[in-house]
Amino acid sequence: METEIVSRAVAAATALARELRLRVDDAVVIRNSNMLALHLLPCGVFARVALVGREVAALEVEVALRLAEAASPVAALEPRVEPRVYERDGFAVTYWTYYEVVLPDPDFPRTYADALRRLHAGMRSVEIATPHFLDRAAEAERLVAHRDRTPALTEADRHLLLSTLRSARARIRSRGAAEQLLHGEPHPGNLLNTRDGLLFIDLETCCRGPIEFDVAHVPEQVSARYPGVDQVLLAECRRLVLAVVAAWRWDIRDEFPDGYRHGRDILSLLRQGPPWPALGALVAE
């Protein structure tokens, strides 16, 4: 978000929090991208703020509530306020428990894989309408195909991304894998190491697909410990994820820090060919 929008977003989140009888003397920006993440003090609340219409906060809240009932490893909504989406000045705001981050377990890959397995087990019990994971790939294809939306892409890079997206989608469909509710982006950037164990955040990316699509986002040391994975499907999902993320980086509206460099790095990986690295390895760098 731009500076002026950030100021308005912080004002909206703090004003709403005070109306909800939460004491707020300061708001620390933790992350600024398409969504603003704030630590409200001294009440110790985590706020997520997005422009209305550019978020799926209601889905995120509903999934979080349902997964909490299933004792899944996800961050909890703030218990002192009603668990819903609040709106103020064109912003959608949700309030969550703030967790202090602790040092990871010595066997972090194993505990990470186990947390993801338990998350998937809980998600199998949740019936809720979400996008399909291949919808994300189709949108990435449309993004790359429209030169006015990705003007900085060279024609060679555009061709590489389009061919990768199309072939990966076809090969994934050919596997005929079982599908369920997924996190959508369970990479290390969406995982908190807390005193309550590993907890997944940012459930707005939930979608439906094979578990291999989620596993494609985690480091290889983690995916190696996840049971029952179709390795052929996992490789194609990794390739698809890389191509989708590369497409996002070339979107003229993308707000990812140093996005073009990140996009060029992924294009280089796609040109090199398999084995395809996991997105989680790139996020962790």
**What are 140-192's pLDDT values in tens digits?**
999 999 999 999 999 999 999 999 999 999 999 999 999 999 999 999 999 99
Q: Is residue 124 located within the same domain as residue 258?
A: yes
Residue 141 within any structural domain of the chain:
yes
Counting residues of the chain whose pLDDT is more than 90, the rounded percentage is 86
* Domain with 66 in it: 3-97
pLDDT tens digits for range 245-259: 999 999 998 878 788
At residue 30, φ and ψ (nearest 5 deg) are -95, -40
Q: Is residue 172 located within the same domain as residue 92?
A: no
Per-residue pLDDT band for 280 (boundaries 50, 70, 90) equals low
pTM of the model: 0.92
CA 174 to CA 166: how far, in whole Å? 13
Q: Is residue 173 located within the same domain as residue 207?
A: yes
Which of 97, 124, 147 lies at the terminal end of a domain, its last residue?
A: 97
CA 144 to CA 122: how far, in whole Å? 35
Q: Is residue 239 located within the same domain as residue 172?
A: yes
Q: Is residue 91 located within the same domain as residue 122?
A: no
Residue 102 within any structural domain of the chain:
no
Residue 67 pLDDT more than 80? yes
Per-residue pLDDT band for 57 (boundaries 50, 70, 90) equals confident
Q: Is residue 128 located within the same domain as residue 91?
A: no
Q: Is residue 69 located within the same domain as residue 206?
A: no
Please report, for the domain that includes residue 232, its CATH number: 3.90.1200.10
Q: What is the mean pLDDT of the chain?
A: 93
Query: Total structural domains in the chain?
Result: 2
Please report, for the domain that includes residue 46, its CATH number: 3.30.200.20
Per-residue pLDDT band for 93 (boundaries 50, 70, 90) equals very high
Which of 68, 97, 126 lies at the terminal end of a domain, its last residue?
A: 97
Beta bridge partners of 38: 29, 47
Residue 130 within any structural domain of the chain:
yes
Cβ-contact 68, 97 below 8 angstroms:
no
**Taking residues 47-63, what's their average pLDDT?**
88
Which of 97, 132, 165 lies at the terminal end of a domain, its last residue?
A: 97
**Taking residues 73-101, what's their average pLDDT?**
96
Q: Is residue 128 located within the same domain as residue 227?
A: yes
Q: Is residue 78 located within the same domain as residue 22?
A: yes
Check residue 283 and give its pLDDT. 56
